[in-house]
Amino acid sequence: MKIATAAYPLDPVKSWADFAGKIEDWVSKAADDGAELLVFPEYGAMELAMLAGPEVAADLEASMHAVSDRIADADGLHSDLAGKYGVHICAGSAPVFDPEISDRPVNRARLFTPTGGCGIQDKQIMTRYERDPMDMAVGGPLHLFDTALGKIGILICYDSEFPLFGRALHDADVILVPSCTEALSGYWRVRIGAMGRALETQCVTAMASLVGEAAWTDVADITTGMGGVFGPPDIGFPDTGVLAEGVLNAPGWTYAEVDPAAIAHVRADGRVLNRGHWDEQSGRDARLSLTPLT
């Protein structure tokens, strides 16, 4: 399959037509370039807040409600585009108020298939900013999506930095990592996490980033990053584990060709077998001995 992962700038869109036109421009470009799986970044849906006006977009709490209020429309748009262009789309995540989970918003990504399927994945662990001042809620559980492209998991940004989540998705062929980071150090924390999960799970991870300045929103006023696709540095993959990477803070798609057979082969007969040997840690991690050396 060919994966397209975005370095995506937030724009102060003035109308639904502006938003829909922008998303279709991005989707059509990736589809024209042969991509089958498109990954937009964490909080990519914050543009929807501007549809309620700049005053609402500039107010943190009001902006989260405004985005949540339009997410059904955005989901309809992404579903239509997935069908029109014959692609799978991981839409930019959004604060969503889901009364079945909490009275506070969850950070929710949605995966759309060209045949009308839709799966949701909520963020599992909140960053410090998401805890205060955003007061985000922990969402629903992890999901593994069985698709025509293979098994796909989603770890939203900070979640990629926790190995047990990657292990829970150990049957995934591809783990998507939509991200939003302010500083270069934040980008590298998530990238290192994404590369670590590719190593342990012997799979492919695809990281998308918000990039640039959007002074009209507190959620992502300054963002740093680029697209990247990573695999285990082993047989059938680059020695660096980097299948593709973009240019820092340059908007656009980064593409990588991924062969599911290469994933199956490295899991069965790689130079190392991290995924298969994972359980050999069990018990040994509990036998830590503090040994004084003088």
In a domain, 55, yes or no: yes
In a domain, 216, yes or no: yes
Q: What is the pLDDT of residues 9-50, one digit of tens each?
A: 999 999 999 999 999 999 999 999 999 999 999 999 999 999
In a domain, 208, yes or no: yes
Residue 140 near residue 109 (C-beta atoms within 8 A):
no
Distances (CA, A) of 74 to 6, 69, 77, 109, 177: 18, 10, 5, 12, 20
CATH assignment at residue 277: 3.60.110.10
In a domain, 158, yes or no: yes
Average per-residue pLDDT for the chain: 97
Number of domains in the chain: 1
Q: Which two tokens stand for residue 80?
A: 């239509």
User: Which residue segment(s) compose the domain that 255 sits in?
Assistant: 2-286
In a domain, 253, yes or no: yes
In a domain, 293, yes or no: no
Q: Is 242 left (phi over 0), alpha (psi -120 to 50) or beta?
A: beta
In a domain, 280, yes or no: yes
Chain-centroid distance of CA 4 in Å reads 12
Q: What are phi and psi of 91, to 5 degrees?
A: -75, 155
Give the mean model confidence (pLDDT) for residues 52-71: 98
Query: In angstroms, what is the C-alpha Rg of the chain?
Result: 19
Q: What is the pTM of this model?
A: 0.97
CA–CA gap between residue 98 and residue 67 (Å, rounded): 13
Distances (CA, A) of 260 to 21, 148, 151, 203: 33, 12, 10, 9
pLDDT of residue 287: 78
CB environment 149-169: b (16+ within 10 A), e (fewer): bbbbbbbbbbbbbbeebbebb
More confident residue, 282 or 96: 96
In a domain, 87, yes or no: yes
